[in-house]
Amino acid sequence: MFISGLLPYLNNIRFDNDLGHPICQNLRDGLWLCDYIYHRLSKHNPMLTEIARIIRILFLPLHEVPYDLRPCYFEALFSLIYETTLEQLMKKLSRPFVTASIYVQSLALSSVAFLGAVKNSKLALLPDGYKIEDDLPSSLSAGLPHFSTGFWRNWGRDTFIALPGCCLVTGRFQDARNLILSYGGAIRHGLIPNLLDGGYGARYNARDAVWFWLYAIVKYIEMVPQGVEILKSKVLRIFIHDDTIYGHDLTVSKLIY
């Protein structure tokens, strides 16, 4: 996400030969943008530290380039970083996606940006003993960049409209299951939360969110091997009754009740 966000602007600059663009002027004035890219990567995730170090080394020659040529050389280096990242990402995708249509490939690549674990945007609780692949279950952003972090990230309606494409078509079945069960545990008034906020700040202001949730379950059953088994899953119900206060009464219940 940190890398691909700049790409549309650089493409426009290159196609229009717009050397008066603010990004070009920013690079002539200094190399703050380069510093931001690798510092952001290294701070975001310890696993990206080595990648950030390599990017820092790649940007070092820009210090020796005449300031008026920096935009040109920055674009060349940045494009190399982006294309290499894209190539490695495609190698990690399973073979069906590598040989799929451009649309499905683009969907799979986009899901990497939309779907991920964000520490300050937790899902509602899952039942004790429920096994997940990662330390923190991934959530699905309602939209980038404004709905990517904090309590603004997780919206039931947006999540389950996007879930079939971002999770099921791309084969991210465990993530789909986690989302279905997490939101299922936060049902109240017969509704799926529109704004989830970990369950404790849930808002129930979208009548059709529960229908998109149910539709996601149907698609899960249709598209996932042995997907019907999800109907036997348990959820940790946060609100047993409509007037239950968060955290006062938690009960493990069936997914559909």
Closest CA to 181 of 246, 142, 123, 114: 123
pTM of the model: 0.81
pLDDT score of 224 more than 60:
yes
User: Mean pLDDT across the stretch 160-166?
Assistant: 95
pLDDT tier for residue 94 given thresholds of 50, 70 and 90? low
pLDDT more than 90, % of the chain: 57
The pLDDT tens digits for 108-156 are: 888 888 999 888 998 998 888 788 877 789 999 998 888 989 999 999 9
Q: How far apart are CA 203 and CA 195, in angstroms?
A: 5
* DSSP string across 145-200: TTBSSGGGS-BHHHHHHHHIIIIITTT-HHHHHHHHHHHHHT-BTTB--SB-GGGT
* DSSP string across 8-32: HHHHHHHHHT-TTSHHHHHHHH-SH
Instruction: Specify the pairing of strand 139-140 against strand 115-116.
Output: antiparallel
User: Mean pLDDT across the stretch 238-255?
Assistant: 74
Backbone angles phi, psi at 251, to 5 degrees: -135, 135
